[in-house]
Chain A
Amino acid sequence: MSDVLTGIEQPADEEAARGAPRGSGAVRFLLGKLGSALLSLALVVVLGFLLFRMIPGDPVVTMTRGRPVSPEQLAELRERLGVDKPMWQQFVDYIGGLLRGDLGTSYLFQRPVADLLTERLGPTLLLVGTATLLAIVLGLWFGIRSAWRRNSRFDKVSTGTALTLWSMPQFWLGLLLLIAFAGVFPSGGMRYSDTPPDVFSQTLDVAYHLVLPCLTLTAAVYAQYLLVMRSSLLEEMNAEYLTTARAKGLRDDLVRRRHAVPNALLPTVTLVFLQFGMVLNGAVAVETVYSWPGLGLLTYEALSGPDLPVLQGAFLVLAAAVILMNVLADLLYRVLDPRVRAT
Chain B
Amino acid sequence: MTPTTDETRGVRAITWARRKQATAGVWREFARDRGGLIGLGGLVLIVLLALLAPVLTDETALEVTNTTAQPRQPPSAQAWLGTDRDGISVLLLVWWGARVSLLIGFSAALLSVFIGTAVGILAAHFGGWLSTTLMRFTDFFLVLPTLVLAIALSAVLPRGIGTIVLAIGVASWPTTARLARAQTLTIEARPYIERAKALGAGHRHVIGKHVLPAVLPLVFAHTTLVVANSIIAESTLSFLGVGDPSRPSWGGILQAAFNSGAVSQGAWWYLLPPGIGIVIVVLCFTLCGRALETVLNPRLRGQR
* B147 & A171 in contact (Cβ 8 Å cutoff): no
Contact of B303 with A306 in the complex, beta carbons under 8 Å: no
Chain B residue nearest to A188 (CB atoms) is B263
B117 CB within 8 Å of chain A: no
A311 at the interface (CB under 8 A from B): yes
B73 near A: Cβ within 8 Å?
no
Shortest beta-carbon distance, A248 to chain B, in Å?
A: 25
Say yes or no: A39 contacts B303, CB within 8 Å: no
- B241 contacts A303, C-beta separation under 8 Å: yes
Residue in A36, A231, A285, A300 whose Cβ sees the most chain B Cβ within 10 Å = A285
Do B236 and A163 touch (CB < 8 A)?
A: no
**Known contacts A280-B148, A315-B148: A55-B156 contact under CB 8 Å:** yes
Interface membership of B213, Cβ < 8 A? no
- Interface residues of B, count at CB 8 A: 47
Whether B266 lies near A281 (C-beta < 8 A) is: no
State the Cβ distance, B277 to closest chain A Cβ, in Å.
10
Contact of B240 among A51, A178, A231, A285 (CB under 8 A): A285
Interchain CB contact under 8 A, A299 and B151? yes
B144 touches A (CB below 8 Å): yes
> Can you name 13 extra interface pairs (CB under 8 A) apart from A176-B275, A284-B240?
A169-B236, A169-B239, A171-B236, A171-B239, A172-B235, A235-B303, A281-B146, A281-B147, A289-B258, A300-B241, A303-B151, A306-B155, A315-B152
In the assembled complex, A179 has its CB within 8 A of some CB on chain B: yes
- In chain A, positions 125-184 with a C-beta closer than 8 Å to chain B are 150, 163-164, 166-172, 175-176, 178-179, 182
Contact partners of B242 in chain A: CB under 8 A: 303
Could you tell me the distance in whole angstroms from the C-beta of B293 to the nearest C-beta in chain A? 10
- Which 8 A-B pairs have CB atoms at the shortest separation, nearest pair first? A281-B147, A167-B282, A172-B275, A234-B303, A277-B145, A55-B156, A306-B155, A280-B145
Q: Which A residues lie within 8 Å of B145 (CB)? A: 277-278, 280-281, 318-319, 322
Could you tell me the dominant secondary structure of chain B's interface residues? helix
A-B contacts, CB under 8 A, total: 143
Partner of A231, one of B143, B147, B304: B304
Asked if B271 is an interface residue, CB under 8 A from chain A, the answer is yes
Q: How far is the CA of A187 from the CA of B151 in the complex (A)?
A: 25
How many residues of A are counted as interface, with CB atoms below 8 angstroms from the partner's CB atoms? 56
B299: A residues at CB distance < 8 A: 235
Q: What is the CB-to-nearest-CB distance from B29 to chain A, in angstroms, rounded to a whole number?
A: 17
Among B157, B158, B286, contact of A167 (Cβ-Cβ < 8 Å): B286
Complex: A67 Cα to B275 Cα, angstroms: 32
A74 proximity list for chain B (CB < 8 A): none
Interface string of A270-286 (1 = CB under 8 A from B): 00001011101100110
Is B146 within 8 A of A51, CB to CB? no
| B236-271 with Cβ < 8 A to chain A | 236, 239-242, 251, 254, 258, 263-264, 266, 268, 271
B278 interface residue (CB < 8 Å to A): yes
B235–A169 contact, CB under 8 A?
yes
